[in-house]
A and B are shown apart, each in its own frame.
Chain A
C-alpha cells in the first residue's frame, strides 16, 4: 500500500515539475504586465507540436530539438506581446483580458486550420522510454528527465532574476514601470524579454506535456494554461518561487485527489482544480508566498 502512495507522490512530483515550469513563465509575465496571458497555454501546445515537427518530421538530434523548441516558444511569445499586450498597455484590465483571450482563440484556430483537430501521437525517442527501478518504484527515463530538466531550468531562471543586471531590471520594471524608465531601463525590451523567457519555458513544458500524455492537438493548450494560472495563484502571482511551490502543490494535490478517492470521482479532477482556484482567490488572494503591497499614493 505504501508503495502505491509513494508512486502517487512521485507522479505528483513529475506532474508538479511540469506545472511549475509553465507556471513560472505565466507568473513572470503577469508580474511584469499585470495581465493574464491566455496564450500561455497555447504556447505549451506550440512547444509540443514544434517538438514533433523538429524531432519526428525533420529528424533532428534531440539536443537541437530542445533548443529549437524553446526558441520557437520565445518567438511566439514575442509576437503575442507585440500584437496583443503592448497595444493594451495602460488600458483597463478587462480590455487586456479580452485581448489576451482573443489572441489565444486566434492561435488555437490557426492551429486548427493548419494541422486540423486530429490528435497526433507524440513520439518519445526510444532511449527515453527505458524503464528504471528506483527504490521499489518503476519509472520511465523520460519522467526523470522531466523532473531534472524542469528543476534545472527553474534554477537557472531564479538565478537570472535574482542576480543578473537584466533580471534585476526586470523585477524593477515589474514593480514600477515609470521609475524603471528613469533608471534608463528600456522597458519595451525588458517586457519583451520576460515574454520570451516565459514563453520559452512554456514551450519546454509543452515538450514534456506531450511526452507525458502521448497525444497532442491544437486545443490542448487550455488545460495547461489554466492549471499554470491556478498554480501561480496558489503560490502568489508574480512570485517566481511561489509559482514553483504552487506547481508542485497542484501536481501533488491533483494526483492524490485522483489516487486516493474512489474512481467515480476521478472525472471531477478539473472541477477540483477550479474549485481550488476560486477558493484561493477568495480566501488567500495573495497566494502562499505573495506579499500584499501598499498602493502608492
Chain B
C-alpha cells in the first residue's frame, strides 16, 4: 500500500529535484555537469542494485554485465546506419539499417538486459550466498569475453566510439525519478515485503507462501533492467563503450554504495551513490599530483571494511528517514542472519 500522505510528498520531492537540476544546468560548467550526471547514473545503479542485493539478499555482482548489454544495444541502435556500415561491416543488415531515437534505444537496451537476465537467472539463481556472487562475477567475465571476441558485432576491444552525446541532465534526472519511484513503490508494496522476507529467512518466507523463485528472478531482472538503462545513459555520456567499460572494479564500487548506504535503504543508496563519485573526484587531484593512482580505490576499500566491522548494516540499515515515511518500514535493522545454508566446511 502506497503511503497516502506520501502521494503528496513524492511529487513535491520530484519538483524540488527538478528545480535542483535546473540550477545545476544553469550554473555548472560542462565538466562539473558531467560529474553531476555521473552521480545521477550512479544513483540509478545503486538504487536498482539495492532491490537485488539489498532487499532480496541476492548477492549479485553482475550489474556491470547488464550495463554492458544495455550500453552496446543502445549504442548500436542510435548509431547512424552510415557509421555502422563503416565501423561494423559485418553487422547483419536488419541491424545495420536501424536508426532509433534515444528513448526507444534505451528501452531496447533495458529490455535486452532483461532478456539476458532471464536466461542467466534461471541457472544462476539456483545458487546461494557467495557461490551466487562468484557466478555473477563469472557472468561479467563471460560478457566481456564475448564482447571482445564477437568482433563483427562489437568491434572487439576497440569498442564503439564517437557515440552521439545524447545524455543530458534531464534524461538522467528523468530516469532517476523513474527508478526511485519504482523502487520506492515496490519496497512499500507486498512485493517488497516478500523480498525482505526472503532476505531474512528464505525457508520461512517459503512457508508463508512467498513464491521464492519467482520473487528472486523478479528482483534480479528488475535490477538488470535499470542497469541496462544506466549502461545506455553511460555510453552516451562518455560517447564510448568498450568491453572493459563495465568491469569488476565497477561491481565493487556499486557494492560499496549498497553496503555503505545500507542494504535496503533507498535513501542510503542515493546518498552513497552521490558521495562516492564525488569523493573520488575530490581525491583525484591528490592522485594525479602525487602520482598515486589507485588511492581513491584504496580509500573506498578501507571505508567498506570499516563499515563492515563497525556498522555492518550500513549508514541507514533498511530504513528510510522518518519524514519520508508515513509508516515505518517493515524491518528496521537486519539482524545477523544465521548461516542457514548447508555449508560444506572442513579440510579433508
Contacts and interface: CB of A to CB of B under 8 A. Distances in A.
Given A91-B312, A98-B308, A32 B123 contact: no
Interface stretch (B4-12, B76-84, B190-198, B333-341): B333-341
A75 interface: no
B124 interface: yes
B170 interface: no
Interface stretch (A142-150, A237-245, A251-259): A237-245
Contact of B134 (A28, A105, A229, A271): A229
A267 interface: yes
B308 A94 contact: no
B255 A101 contact: yes
Interface in B273-308: 291-295, 297-298, 300-302, 304-305, 308
B145 interface: yes
A278 B123 contact: yes
Interface of B: 57, 59, 123-124, 126-127, 129-131, 133-135, 137-139, 141-142, 145-146, 148-149, 248-249, 252, 255-256, 259, 291-295, 297-298, 300-302, 304-305, 308-309, 312, 336-337, 339, 341-348
Contact of A94 (B129, B146, B249): B129
Interface in A266-297: 267-268, 270-271, 274-275, 277-278, 281-282, 285-286, 289-293, 295
A119 interface: no
A139 interface: no
A106 B137 CA distance: 18
Chain B CB within 10 Å, residue with most, of A98, A170, A226, A293: A98
Contacts of B297: 105-106, 108-109, 112
Contacts of A238: 344-348
Mostly, the B contact residues are: helix
Given A97-B133, A271-B145, A281-B135, 19 more contacts: A91-B308, A91-B336, A98-B255, A99-B305, A102-B256, A106-B298, A109-B301, A110-B294, A113-B292, A222-B248, A238-B346, A238-B347, A238-B348, A240-B347, A242-B348, A270-B141, A271-B146, A274-B142, A291-B344
8 contacts: A28-B347, A35-B130, A93-B339, A98-B308, A113-B293, A238-B348, A277-B135, A292-B344
A271 B149 CA distance: 11
